[in-house]
Structure 1
Amino acid sequence: MKKKKALALLLTAAMTVGMLAGCGGSDSAATAGNAETADTAGGSTSGGSTSAAGEEAPDDGEYYVDEDGNKYKKFDDVTLNMLICWNGGFKTAQDQYNNDVAAAIREKIGVTVEFEGIMMSEAEKLNMMFASGDMPDMVNAPYWGGTAGETAIIKKAGVEGRLIDIKDLVPNYPNIADAYDIGVIGQKYLETDIDTPENNGARYVLPTEVAGDDADIAQWGYGVFVRGDVPEALGIDPTSIKTSEELYDFMVKARDYGFKDVNGNDCIVATTYHDGWSYDDYAQSFNAKKLTKFELDENGNVTYDRLTKNYVDKYLFIWKLVKEGILDKECFKTSDDRAREKVGNGTALFTCAQYGVTVDATKLTGLYDSNPEMRYTWVGPLNYNDGSALKQIEPDGRNGSPVIFFPNTCSNIDAALTWLDYVNSKEGTKLICYGFEGDTYEMNEDGQPRMNAELTEKYKVDTEGVNEELRQRGINYMAARTYVAKKNMAWFGESGPFMADAENEFVREYKTLRPVEKIPGYSIEAFAPGFDGYQEFAEWAFDDTTEKEYKERAFFADTEEEARKILEDYQNYLLTSDGGKMQAFLDYLTEQSKTRDDIAY
């Protein structure tokens, strides 16, 4: 039987705060609209007392009041399921209902959320889900906006009435209502992808994994990394490598040297993580410093990256890496587990994507304990094609993000939004990230939670082991796909547990070499939906799956000429399909680019 707090205590807490009908209050909620100021103590009322599909439900008058005075409706043991639609799965506690954190949340608000991951393409899963009608209560999925395939699938589901309209619901939940604030997300993202005209005023997605302020913009640390003994043996300073061609020369020397892994086996020169993520890092110096796939040519016309000579040259470079036995041929279809094995055993001399992912792979095997000389270090970082230093470019507010949406099969939308509201509060975030004061964390002199000394020391040498130990208690996994406008730095002085005290020193140093730089302006992509017939046009013109098929055919071509022809065939496909509509689209963007003086590319 589920334990419940005494009704008298709950009613006393509710009276302390005061009861308001419908809306909760905070500055961010008021900005979003429809929110009212809460009680004089500064708390807020959470939950609009709504049922599935947004219909009004009875108010049972039972609430939980958190340590900051925020009030949340309490439910009678509601369990919801949430699909984490990201290829590679989602690690959770083995017991998602009875772990310590889930039980603590349930004691407070009476809601438990259980997660399910996937091991297939995100677009394929979304299509299957909507086709079958077998849908969970909540879904977290990619929503990069613009032409991304997953975005189109989710937008279509909204238009077809398969998703719940949350526009008038979210303002009632103040800890998530600021997800739509400009600066948290970009104006272009809000207008063209979230409040797309096809929605007729409805709003179907909740942006997640966005920064509540600049300090909380995640630094991903993308780049190219090399096993430490390789440059040492070859007499090369890896930080001096600034172009992809210099990287190629470095890789050729490494290939021909005859390095072995920790087990004495032959090495792979370069690999990636799942499904080729992200081989583009090896071709970084072909890229321009910009936000979008469009730019102005010397004549003032808008051009599209996929139609340029540089696009062909960039992927011929990847073809060369494959053809010459440098880039692992398995990488385009590999799993993260297989990739971690290759990196963790030092079998891959070069790897890419996020530096922290590489370091974590080596911790799984203890590579640095047995072979400290093999510690992966960074190459470069490589420069942009104009020779400028690589940055982590961000818009003024994110223009594409993961989102959470609610299928019309959601069994209790009020409970779902209340749960999200709570775990995105200061108290809720502290609970799901840090666990329990006096047990897993202590408060420092600044009133910020810090994982205890014993866990912190263990984390430094066995990150995954500690993560797993905490995960089984429900600590620090829920936040990964449920935070909305992140405020961890503002609230706690660190981006996540252990980061202030135990983040890998080399990862921390590498991030300083790739600082965040915001590019202000109104994205040229914001005009795209105004193009006549854009929705149908975008389905083929910007289909990432089609592009991937052409590129991978090119990568495995026998000759450079054959590879070039395949890439040029793709460009011809873009230019000639639908009666040459691509050029008409670019002409349209060119005209639109003249209407404002703050266009960002």
Structure 2
Amino acid sequence: MNKKRLSTLLALAMTAVLSVGLFSGCKKDTPSDSPTPTETTTPSTGETTAPADVEPGWKGDTSPITFDWYINFSWFASKWDDPIAKYITEKTGVSINYIVPAGNEAEALNTMLASGSVPDFITLGWWEDAVKKMIEGEMVLPLNELADKYDMYFYKVADEQKLAWYRQDDGNVYGYPNASSSPKDFEKYANLKPSNQTFLVRKDMYEALGKPDMRTPEGFLNALKAAKEKFPEVNGQPLIPLGLHEFTDTGNYSLEGYLQNFLAIPFEKDGKLYDRSTDPDYIKWLKTFRTANEMGLLSKDIFVDKRAQMEEKIAQGRYFAMIYQRSDMSAQLQALYAADPNKVYIAVDGPANSNLDAPKLAGDGLAGWTVTLISKDNKDPERAIKFLSYLISEEGNKDLYLGKKGFTYDVIDGKEQFLPEVLEVLNSDRTKFDKEYGASYKHWMLMDTNMNLQWAPPAAEPAKQLEDWTKGKTVSYALYDGIDPTGTSEEGIAASTMAQEWGKTLPKLLNAKTEAEFDQIWQAWQAKRIELGLDKVSAYREAQLEKNKKKLGM
């Protein structure tokens, strides 16, 4: 899971007072429609609940239907053609035709929105401007209205806090998240839900260098330098001392929210949002990366490589260190481990603040990772809301995660869990697992990562080490979800423009010839974002934060 994938949010976070990049919008909690006679309404929030005995609506019609489902991630290559997908189709009658952008996601989305027509389902990062644009342009249908009309079961399986979080000013809910955790969920599952954010090193190289302390700028630079000198090549190709997420037109979130979380920079000080991007420790570390570039320790590849090229280089073990999310490299990690357990990547302590405090890494937020919406052009809105209800239910999550009983799982030692031979493939060859089975988050659009904990097997090496390292360092930043302005409002345009400007500025900072040139570029950036409307964006974010606090009872 790219849980990924959040560059726009995290770049926006750089433009003002930053939020973490994983997680949702906050809207009023008053629905516009009166409940039907079969509904009940909670007076304090206006939330609609379903009768306890309501049946799953999808069972009423299992005739064949194919929905077009747009996934706004160019790296997504899955097809609805594996055994578990076919099992779900046999069960519900629904098949899925995935549609994925061939190149730049933002361009593909803008072209699609300009056409005025979108596919049956749309899944994209909740932070994307397109979410608001589709809602404002009446291109998507309110889930609550569809549920009122066609499927009261939706209210039985939907999480009320998630609906409240995504309720818009008009009282409607247009999207439902995946990988979402409320603060209460996070507290309940704190010891089970690790962060996805890691600082990684290649085990054999790191140990050969004497396990250097990389928490300080000096130690970090010395380790990169020593790695390049001792291991100039990997299988005949140049070593890449440091790997990052890809640079986009809005920045690089390895050097934004990830780095700020490693430095344990707070989101608030004295009850007000803190501009994390101007924190002295953060600036010091950006300058450290500039110095690394001056020393020849930042490969030109990292400025141009996209995810496909990065995955290839991870599989080759060409990076010494990485600031990266562990789930994005699971297949490559397994392949490296199978070939040689000593040449795998492991998580270690990386960049830290001046006090060497432990990092405070982001766990799942209430907004989740992506949000799924139903198009106004949907070929069958009734089947669509019923299928969505199935997917977010425990039955649907179980089907997508565990698969089919007797084929991928069974009751073993009193617990529903993967068959041993299936688990072996899952832990050793993710690509083969996806093709031969198709369970365990291959189709992740509406996965409930909390619900799935009841079926999840214990983490196995090499992933276990990465996961275990984040435990005790993972915190909830749900309070700061969705505070950045989006859409075509004055604040939204200002934030978007600043994000684009930051995307141009970050590479310039790293490529500055001297620290003095860095300072000049940095000061120009600070002046530019003020010129573009930082005050308006900051005021908007403060107001949204107050709404979030009220919504979460804080």
| TM-score range normalised by the length of the shorter chain | 0.7 to 0.9
Q: Helix, strand or coil: the match of 2:324?
A: coil
How many residues align? The count is 506
Aligned-partner Cα distance in 1 for 2:540–2:245: 38
Q: Deviations over 1:224-253 (max 9, x none)?
A: 211222223222x25x43334422221111
1:169-208 matched pairs, under 5 angstroms: 169-170=146-147, 172=151, 174=153, 179-182=158-161, 190=165, 194-197=166-169, 200-208=170-178
Q: 1:566 to 1:445 in 2, by over 3 A?
A: same
User: Do the aligned residues in 2 keep the contact of 1:83 with 1:138 (CA within 8 Å)?
Assistant: yes
User: Do the aligned residues in 2 keep the contact of 1:368 with 1:375 (CA within 8 Å)?
Assistant: yes
1:383-532 matched pairs, under 5 angstroms: 383-384=352-353, 386-394=355-363, 398-399=366-367, 401-448=369-416, 450-471=417-438, 475-476=439-440, 479-484=443-448, 486-490=450-454, 492=455, 494=456, 499-500=457-458, 503-515=459-471, 517-518=474-475, 523=480
State the shift of 1:88 in Å. 1.3
User: Do the aligned residues in 2 keep the contact of 1:243 with 1:285 (CA within 8 Å)?
Assistant: no
User: Do the aligned residues in 2 keep the contact of 1:574 with 1:582 (CA within 8 Å)?
Assistant: yes
Aligned-partner Cα distance in 1 for 2:361–2:48: 36
State the shift of 1:309 in Å. 5.2
Partner residue in 2 for 1:560: 515
State the shift of 1:273 in Å. 4.4
Q: 1:467 to 1:105 in 2, by over 3 A?
A: closer
Aligned-partner Cα distance in 2 for 1:207–1:458: 29
Q: AA paired with 1:46? A: P
User: Do the aligned residues in 2 keep the contact of 1:75 with 1:109 (CA within 8 Å)?
Assistant: yes
State the shift of 1:593 in Å. 8.8
Q: 1:168 to 1:588 in 2, by over 3 A?
A: closer
Partner residue in 2 for 1:162: 139
State the shift of 1:275 in Å. 3.8
State the shift of 1:488 in Å. 1.2
Aligned-partner Cα distance in 1 for 2:243–2:272: 38
Q: AA paired with 2:422? A: L
Q: AA paired with 1:181? A: E
Aligned-partner Cα distance in 1 for 2:101–2:488: 31
Q: 1:27 to 1:116 in 2, by over 3 A?
A: farther
| 1:549 is the counterpart of 2:517 | no
Q: 1:73 to 1:324 in 2, by over 3 A?
A: farther
1:218-257 matched pairs, under 5 angstroms: 218-235=193-210, 237-238=211-212, 240-257=213-230
User: Do the aligned residues in 2 keep the contact of 1:269 with 1:328 (CA within 8 Å)?
Assistant: yes
Q: Helix, strand or coil: the match of 1:223?
A: strand
Q: Helix, strand or coil: the match of 1:561?
A: helix
User: Do the aligned residues in 2 keep the contact of 1:296 with 1:303 (CA within 8 Å)?
Assistant: yes
Aligned-partner Cα distance in 2 for 1:23–1:350: 60
Partner residue in 2 for 1:539: 493
Give TM-score, length-normalised by structure 2.
0.78
User: Do the aligned residues in 2 keep the contact of 1:211 with 1:487 (CA within 8 Å)?
Assistant: no
State the shift of 1:139 in Å. 0.6
Aligned-partner Cα distance in 1 for 2:543–2:134: 32
Tell me which structure has the larger Cα radius of gyration: 1
Aligned-partner Cα distance in 2 for 1:83–1:453: 34
Q: Deviations over 1:391-417 (max 9, x none)?
A: 43448x524531011222111122112
Aligned-partner Cα distance in 1 for 2:102–2:437: 24
Identity %: 20
Partner residue in 2 for 1:129: 112
Aligned-partner Cα distance in 1 for 2:324–2:384: 33
User: Do the aligned residues in 2 keep the contact of 1:227 with 1:375 (CA within 8 Å)?
Assistant: yes
State the shift of 1:518 in Å. 4.3
| 1:36 is the counterpart of 2:15 | no
Partner residue in 1 for 2:124: 141
Q: AA paired with 1:228? A: K
State the shift of 1:584 in Å. 5.9
Q: Helix, strand or coil: the match of 1:352?
A: strand
Which of 93, 111, 119 is the equivalent residue of 2:94? 111
State the shift of 1:347 in Å. 1.8
State the shift of 1:206 in Å. 1.7
Q: Deviations over 1:258-289 (max 9, x none)?
A: 4431x233312122344476532898378653
Q: AA paired with 2:379? A: S
User: Do the aligned residues in 2 keep the contact of 1:75 with 1:415 (CA within 8 Å)?
Assistant: no
Question: Which structure 1 segments of 5+ residues have no match?
Answer: 1-20, 48-63, 65-71, 145-149
Q: Helix, strand or coil: the match of 2:444?
A: helix
| 1:582 is the counterpart of 2:534 | yes
State the shift of 1:92 in Å. 2.2
Q: Helix, strand or coil: the match of 1:409?
A: coil
Q: Deviations over 1:59-114 (max 9, x none)?
A: xxxxx6xxxxxxx3214322111011123123224xx4xx5434433333322222
Aligned-partner Cα distance in 1 for 2:542–2:441: 45
User: Do the aligned residues in 1 keep the contact of 2:331 with 2:431 (CA within 8 Å)?
Assistant: yes
Give TM-score, length-normalised by structure 1.
0.72
State the shift of 1:587 in Å. 6.6
Q: Deviations over 1:35-68 (max 9, x none)?
A: 43243xxxx3234xxxxxxxxxxxxxxxx6xxxx
Q: AA paired with 1:230? A: M
Partner residue in 2 for 1:17: none
Q: 1:484 to 1:121 in 2, by over 3 A?
A: farther
State the shift of 1:476 in Å. 4.1
Partner residue in 1 for 2:6: none
Which of 59, 68, 72 is the equivalent residue of 1:85? 72
1:90-101 matched pairs, under 5 angstroms: 90-93=77-80, 96=81, 99-101=82-84
Q: Helix, strand or coil: the match of 1:139?
A: strand
Aligned-partner Cα distance in 2 for 1:588–1:401: 22
Which of 55, 77, 99 is the equivalent residue of 1:45? 55
State the shift of 1:210 in Å. 1.3
Q: Deviations over 1:477-505 (max 9, x none)?
A: 55411225741124x2x2xxxx33xx333
Q: Helix, strand or coil: the match of 1:91?
A: coil
User: Do the aligned residues in 2 keep the contact of 1:285 with 1:382 (CA within 8 Å)?
Assistant: no
User: Do the aligned residues in 2 keep the contact of 1:285 with 1:384 (CA within 8 Å)?
Assistant: no
Aligned-partner Cα distance in 2 for 1:521–1:422: 26
Question: Which structure 2 segments of 5+ residues have no match?
Answer: 1-34
Q: Helix, strand or coil: the match of 1:79?
A: strand
Q: Helix, strand or coil: the match of 2:297?
A: coil
State the shift of 1:552 in Å. 1.9
Aligned-partner Cα distance in 1 for 2:293–2:233: 20
Q: Helix, strand or coil: the match of 1:141?
A: strand
| 1:272 is the counterpart of 2:230 | no
Q: AA paired with 1:202? A: N
Which of 281, 299, 302 is the equivalent residue of 1:331? 302
Q: AA paired with 2:60? A: K
Q: AA paired with 1:168? A: E
User: Do the aligned residues in 1 keep the contact of 2:176 with 2:372 (CA within 8 Å)?
Assistant: yes
User: Do the aligned residues in 1 keep the contact of 2:157 with 2:389 (CA within 8 Å)?
Assistant: no
